Amino acid sequence: MQQLDKEREQNQLWFQSEKLVGGVLYVDLFAGDLKKMRDKIPYLKEMGINFLHLMPLLRPRDGLNDGGYAVQNFRDVDRRLGTYDDLRKLSRVLHQEGINLVLDFVMNHTAKEHGWAQAAMSGHPRYQRFFHMFDDRALPDMYEQHLIEVFPDFAPGNFSFYPQIDKWVWTTFYEFQWDLNYANPDVFHAMFEEMIHLVNTGADCLRLDAVPYLWKKLGTHCQNQEEAHHLLRA
């Protein structure tokens, strides 16, 4: 991987090559689990695929999880699919066969069962600042005047009330997905560490999920703000 990194430093737009043929799949639906994915590699090569995007496979919350995008633990794989070691082994085999690996990294939010959210729910001030929390509806109502509902039929509104802490929490997607507060530098640092941990599985690229929503600005629809682009460039 180090040699590959050096080569790509000389050609930083390698991923735009017309020689790359992409494929996107859910591991459980395509192969069953990460170990069985290795058995599918000959088929992928027969199809000419050399840029493989595996849909969310980090450990999600139990029950409804937005197709895996409600991550409970960034350092654990969905137990139905295997282990982190299985992911590393699959990455090595894919590279041996000339296939690049793309993984999802959910930047905008965590599941409410994530350790940070659980600490916030227990009243820990540091972790309450990891999320957008409000003591009443005054500010949420002001934001809502300009916000777009992502799932109006299933999850109306962009804020959810939690009586355990007597606070409203920003939940752009579903109530079980808590938006992270990137105005807090600690959040950026913590998420950067999670990102590097995922990259070290051997991923060639990360698909950064829900990044238009990273920055909240009153009086706007809070999508594609300039600050969100600054965060991505950082």
3-state secondary structure the chain: CHHHHHHHHHCCCHHHCCCCCEEEECHHHHCCCHHHHHHHHHHHHHCCCCEEEECCCEEECCCCCHHHCCEEEEEEECCCCCCHHHHHHHHHHHHHCCCEEEEEEECCEEECCCHHHHHHHCCCHHHHCCECEECCCHHHHHHHCCCCCCCCCCCCCCEEEECCCCEEEECCCCCCEEEECCCCHHHHHHHHHHHHHHHCCCCCEEEEECHHHCCCCCCCCCCCCHHHHHHHHC
pLDDT of amino acid 1: 61
Q: Locate the domains of the chain by residue range.
A: 2-109+183-211+226-233, 111-179
The architecture that CATH gives domain 111-179 is Alpha-Beta Complex (3.90)
pLDDT of amino acid 122: 97
- Indicate which residues carry an active-site annotation: 209
Topology match between the domains 2-109+183-211+226-233 and 111-179: no
pLDDT of amino acid 155: 87
**Which stretches in the chain have pLDDT values below 70?**
1-3, 5
For the domain bounded by 2-109+183-211+226-233, which CATH number is listed? Answer: 3.20.20.80
